[in-house]
Structures are given as structure tokens and as C-alpha cells.
Amino acid sequence: MRMMPSIFLVGILLSCVNDPKEVEELNDEERYPDQEMRGVDVLYSTMGEVQFRLKAPLVHQYGGEESYNEMPEGVDIEIYDDTTMVVSSRLTANYAIDIAHEKRMEAKDNVVVINDEGDTLNTEHLIWDLEKDEIRSDVFVKITTPQQVLMGEGLISNQDFTDYRILKPRGIINLKDAQSN
């Protein structure tokens, strides 16, 4: 009878083995942000000129060589004209990630860009190349202007969204109306 409790104890100890992969995932520091900020409102400037203003309800900041900022609850960005300091376009999205070392920001999920002329871009994924001052997309895009609705796959534009090109336009184009204009 004395053997029974020790066999039982050995059985319990042997059954409590941790999966090394699960332990590694729990200890992985890259999965958790270095900082969490709420109610963020930041002005980005270059050489004393404000380039854009970023507002986000929540920002997760990850450090290291390949640092980035994640905005899982959305983002609202006002892009300023270089010369007049007036808002020239606005970008909103339900999710964004700013990859500082690549000078690139990605916006996903209900991305909307509106320029000062009232042209509106709707897409699900947009890449903003901060070095080239351009935005681009490789998925479905819809542009609504006061005169027309344009659709297609992919887009390249300046960051103000005033000079844009749909890469693969689709839809009906009335050539008679286009020639008269």
C-alpha cells in the first residue's frame, strides 16, 4: 500500500510536461508592445514643416532594429500642403501600421482617402511610401468624384491624392461623353 501514493505522485509529475513551443510563444517578447499609448495626437514634421497629423485611439509601439507602431483601433491622418500648411487630404482606416525603418505606413480595413477637391478613394489596403510621397494599392479601389465613379484594381497616387492613376480600370466608359469633354 505504501507503493501506491509514490506511483500516483510519479504519474502526476510525468503528466505535467510543458510543450516547448507553447513556452517559447509565451516568452516571445516581440509579441508584446514595448509601449501602449492611448488618445494619440502627433504632428510629423521635416525641417520645421509639418507634413501630417496622426490621431489614433490606441498605438502599440514595438522597438528593436525593425521597430514599428501598430494602430489596431484605427487611424485618422491629415496630410498638409507643403507651401500653405492647409490640409490637402485626409486618410482614415480601421487599422494601420507604421514601419519606421522602411519609411512606410500601411492602412487596412475600410480605408478612405479624401482630397481637398472632394475626390474620395475607398479600398481595403493602402500603402503610403513616406520617402516617395506616394500612396498605392494593389487591391480593388473605388474613386468617387463630383462627376463620376471610377473602379479598378490597384492605384498609384501622390500623397495628396490629387494626381492618381488606377492601374487596371474596369467598368463602362462612355467614349461619346469623353470625347465631347
Q: Which three cell numbers stand for residue 117?
A: 477637391
What is the pLDDT at residue 147? 86
Residue listed under C-alpha cell 506511483: 7
What is the pLDDT at residue 109? 96
What is the pLDDT at residue 33? 87
Cα–Cα distance for residue pair 181/175, rounded to 1 Å: 10
Cα atoms in the Cβ-side hemisphere of radius 13 Å centred on 50:
15
What is the pLDDT at residue 27? 56
Cα–Cα distance for residue pair 113/23, rounded to 1 Å: 43
Residues with pLDDT less than 70, the chain: 1-31, 172-181
Looking at the domain that runs over 34-171, which CATH code has it been given? 2.60.450.10
The answer to whether the beta carbons of residues 111 and 76 sit under 8 Å apart is: no
What is the pLDDT at residue 16? 55
Q: Which three cell numbers stand for residue 167?
A: 492601374
Beta strands in 6-94 (DSSP E): 35-46, 49-62, 68-71, 75-80, 87-93
Cα–Cα distance for residue pair 89/145, rounded to 1 Å: 14
pLDDT tens for 103-152 read: 899 999 999 999 999 999 999 999 999 889 899 999 999 999 888 899 99
CB atoms within 10 A of CB 115: 21
Closest C-alpha among 25, 77, 32 to residue 52: 77
What is the pLDDT at residue 66? 87
Cα–Cα distance for residue pair 124/139, rounded to 1 Å: 7
